[in-house]
Structure 1
């Protein structure tokens, strides 16, 4: 309860922006230079009303040569002040703009680096479109804050403080009256500022919702078009955009009201005080130059307050954006490398040994259902083990636990006798090659897609892996061969070609443990024959686990594990399991009976 309460208190104020300090502190020197330029620009601005007072009282109010000398001097001084103001303003603009761009780039990199380190559990509950919205829209708001708003706030705070001081120097009575009136003005500004911040957060959430929806649909366009849902998806996105628009308009109306209130109250107070000053000049208790100076300083103070209210609105929006980004940065992945990781034993010539000891696992999103329950299994180095069973039996879950995308709630998994939780994540995953059921092809050329398996591989090694995966021939036929761009998600390739690219990627890695999740599922009969031969050669010298629904592809495995409802129900060879007449025999009968397709 205490944590929740304190978090809500922080969200209710601009204190959340203080959490951005780690991204600002590395650039103290640049902030110092920007501060110097800022002080010089503010000082030059504050010097202008005093120069006007001198011109009015000593120049226009006098006569003769002395008067002309004074007026020439003060005009030269005024131009000198303008030169200082111009140079200081340009320097301030350059430095704060640099800071805005630099801090935003650092923040984007930090958020992205943090997100890609998250476990799959994070992506079960977070849409990628929302993450992208935070990386783009939200960081742009923070860029505006760092690159403009902070500088404007400091500049106008200096002008406000300096202007107010000079108002008291000019006339204590009038300044006291205007100070009381300005204090009354601040209250509605603060009240409306809080409402703007809440609406800004809501507005950014609605934009993220629309982005997430668009990303999901654009990645599934063939399915959308196959079911003729284009109009429906357009309507859904339009409704989401309209919701974002309505929320944004609430924010805009609130900011407009804030601006109206601030300007009316501030300038109303100033006009009233200036009316009193005009009467003081008429009575002779104040000179014309002093009133002119007072008017200019009052305008500077009023302008500073108006600008501060505007900056406050921007800061409120940026606070909402910062909240959302810092939420991402505060998420801790439950899967972490060991604090003092153990090394793996030297690689054996025939692959890795794998042991599962009484493993029980529930997905975080389905805690009431055990995907694996009390599973124990020992796999010897160099052994090829096929895992079969109906959908939902826990086959793919087993692979995810081996890769340590999740940790089991009970039991342990050993790789070459070492609990994988005691290994560095990089060490563990570098020891495992995987060909997933859903192939991922990146927006790059063929050679870079295969080299994803091992970044330091030479072109010759990449081509050798492609030949082993029966991918070399079709790659050579592409317009630019291995340098051909494959399109987003590999849209220029057939399903079988994408699968062979993925197999080549895994073979290039040359791991001691190979995981094949329906590795030949997307291949036609001829390609399957080629790849099956390549995989059999690749299995030499390594331990291989194969998930397959088509039993024809696993008949030659050293051992077949049959799973159902998270348990191992049968173990043996193809022949022994068929003879036993259990679940495997039933699956085999469905696939191998006359009239049924075997592929």
Structure 2
């Protein structure tokens, strides 16, 4: 975009690290795991798979508990009695139970993993669908790298939890409840000892769990910092290398990586301490129970088989508690990740869409009216980009906007595209207030050629067809030919099918500009917005493209921003802006009559320089 009011200085620059840190610290922190319940809305459509997974989970947990009963019978009636036939039968039954356990475990793992992948895919789509509709104002104060982190890292954490940890947690809860019940049946006395240990096990889980949850959120924020810095540096790689900034950027990136590492280490240490404490308490208790139970066997109060079954169930219960303590760490990380994703899903665009938007008149004519518009960019609330701005553009009129940088020229285009809404005044398009229109219908009637054209990492077909996705190949070729870019595109190794590279790096600046013009030609809009559309072209290419633009603008409302006055001499009207206000308006000849006016000063400066260059024998430079 042009600097002429596109945004206040620094609005598009990355926010300082301190600002980002403040914004992160202001986020509400997850106090419990109830935030995970909000994921049920994404799980609900797959209730059948959830039911099947639950059934497999119950079968798997039941077979594990049945093994304990079989073990006790085997010890008492097989080993103790010396009954070989019973031993053979018990082994066969045991093998059958193992096969059933394996089948149930397979079904549980497959179904739960499928649900996890499906839910995360739906979450990613929902988050992206929401983010892509947010107004540019949101991205002025939020880093793209952090949003990418939420779409990738945070959703990956959810995948682990939904596709694994929740299943493990439920399985171990069933084992814990079932094992505890069987412990009571086997030996109430020893079970009482087990229950005395449970509060001791819960204490480290509660104590360390809070710290793990806090550090998990902090770790995710530090990872977002890393992603944001990489995104910024790689997007500006030419600037980084041109200013030999690689060592400093590497040092700063290393600092962010180390911060993320240090936070992760603290989280891992807290979680490891929690797991170790649980293991010591659980298995220390089992040792004590074995000692007490052994004396009961020797005294005849219980049989050896009952003690074996009790130990088996005690190990199952202890293992379940240990696993749950580990899973809680995953769930706490997921709670933080879910909270971050919900923040995005709950973010509303500043651009409000009416529940019953008014349609544009048919056919669309492209009449534009600014009525006493006042506007401040969100990043600079103290600076008026437009102040009392009023302008009417008739259908088919070609209006040029000129003025110094920061005068508000590109802000006019931003408001017309309804990237922002004015704080004061109103805008009308074909007589309809922009607030009453569906932004999609409004923008479909507008074609934009920005100063810095965007070329996507795709071939020429897709890049030009971006202007009108339903266009035929013939229409795309005609648009490319009209914009004088068919020649250089056909010279690429695979012609129109050639991959144009990330951000169009395989094309020159002028070629990217002509590709953007072809996109606008294909769109065939009622209103054409040209923001320094020929600024990157050489003299010969500019003449060719200007001819194409002249043909495109015939009978079409056009608003043109230009710093070079030679490109706007054919405009029906030239509007001069300064500090967000219109200071002059008229034709080129009319504006030159006011010798003290801003336009006359611009013209004198530019045309006098051009004449000097011609006098020095540099017509090519002068023409540019």
The TM tier, using the shorter chain, reads over 0.9
Which residue does the alignment assign to 1:418?
A: 432
Matches of 1:110 and 1:587 in 2, distance apart? 50
Conservation of the 8 A alpha-carbon contact between 1:336 and 1:425: no
| Number of the residue aligned with 2:108 | 92
TM, length-normalised to structure 2: 0.93
Q: Distance in 2 between matches of 1:51 and 1:425?
A: 69
What is the CA distance between 1:10 and its match in structure 2? 7.0
Secondary structure at the counterpart of residue 79 of structure 1? helix
Determine the C-alpha separation between the residues in 1 that align with 2:185 and 2:28: 40
Find the counterpart in structure 2 of residue 399 from structure 1.
Answer: 413
Which residue of structure 2 lines up, in the alignment, with residue 48 of structure 1?
67
CA distance in 2, matches of 1:446, 1:62: 84
- Give the equivalent residue in structure 2 for 1:384: 398
Structure 2 counterpart SS, 1:12: coil
Alignment of 1:548 with 2:575, yes or no, is: no
Matches within 5 A, 1:488-527: 488-527=502-541
Alignment correspondent of 1:287: 303
Secondary structure of the structure 2 residue equivalent to 1:595? helix
Partner of 1:479: 493
Is the alpha carbon distance of 1:8 and 1:402 closer, same or farther for their aligned partners in structure 2, counting shifts above 3 Å? closer
Do the aligned residues in 2 keep the contact of 1:515 with 1:545 (CA within 8 Å)? yes
Q: Is the 8 A contact 1:388 1:547 kept in 2?
A: yes
* TM-score, length basis structure 1: 0.97
Query: Where in structure 2 are there 5+ consecutive unaligned residues?
Result: 1-25, 614-621
Alignment pair present for 1:588 and 2:607: no
> For the residues of structure 2 that align with 1:385 and 1:69, how far apart are their CA atoms?
101
Residue in structure 2 matched with residue 16 of structure 1 by the alignment: 35
Return the offset for 1:191: 1.3
The equivalent residue for 1:143 is 159
SS of 1:505's equivalent in the other structure is helix
Identify the match of residue 465 of structure 1 among 476, 479, 482.
479
Q: CA RMSD in A?
A: 1.2
* Native 8 Å contact 2:539 2:623 kept in 1: no
- 1:74 CA drift (Å): 1.6
Which structure 2 residues correspond to residues 251-266 of structure 1 after superposition, within 5 A? 251-266=267-282
- Which residue number corresponds to residue 124 of structure 2? 108
Q: 1:164 aligns with which of 165, 177, 180?
A: 180
Corresponding position of 1:193: 209
Aligned residue in 2 for 1:78: 94
**Are the aligned partners of 1:591 and 1:598 in contact in 2 as well (CA < 8 Å)?**
no
Q: 1:182·1:269 contact (CA, 8 Å) conserved in 2? A: no
Q: Which SS does the other structure have where 1:382 is aligned?
A: coil
Q: Does 1:408 align with 2:427?
A: no
The C-alpha deviation readout for 1:437-489, integer Å capped at 9, x for no partner, is 11100001111100000000001101111111111111122122111111010
Matched residues, number: 588
Match of 1:240 among 245, 250, 256: 256
Secondary structure of 1:433 counterpart: strand
Q: Deviation of residue 70 (structure 1)?
A: 2.1
* 3-state SS, counterpart of residue 612 of structure 2: coil
Q: Aligned partners of 2:456, 2:256: CA distance in 1, in Å?
A: 29
In structure 2, the CA distance between the partners of 1:9 and 1:186, relative to structure 1 (3 Å rule), is farther
Looking at structure 2, the residues matched to 439 and 459 of structure 1 have their Cα atoms a distance apart, in angstroms, of: 22
Give the CA deviation at 1:9.
8.2
Which range moved further: 306-315 or 125-134?
A: 125-134
Q: In the alignment, does 2:577 pair up with 1:563?
A: yes
**Separation of aligned partners in 1, 2:58 and 2:302:** 30
In 1, the alpha carbon distance for the partners of 2:80 and 2:256 equals 66
- Which position in structure 2 is the counterpart of 1:374? 388
Higher relative contact order structure (alpha carbons within 8 Å, sequence separation ≥ 6) = 2
CA displacement at 1:8 relative to structure 2: 8.4
Structure 1 residue 252: Cα displacement:
0.8
| Equivalent residue number for residue 233 of structure 2 | 217
Q: Secondary structure at the match of 1:407?
A: coil
User: Contact conserved, 2:29 with 2:336, CA < 8 A, in 1?
Assistant: no
Contact 1:10 1:16 in 2 (8 A): no
**Is the CA contact (8 Å cut-off) linking 2:57 and 2:104 kept in structure 1?**
yes
Structure 2 distance, partners of 1:8, 1:541, is: 52
| Matches of 2:426 and 2:109, distance apart in 1 | 58
Q: 4+ residue stretches of structure 1 with deviation over 4 A?
A: 7-10
**Would you say 1:309 and 2:328 are equivalent positions?**
no
1:59 partner SS: helix
CA offset digits 1:56-103 (Å, max 9, x no partner)? 11111214xxx2332222222111111110100010011011011111
1:198 and 1:17 map into 2 onto residues whose CA distance is: 16
Q: Which residue of 2 aligns with 1:3?
A: none
SS in 2 for 1:514: strand
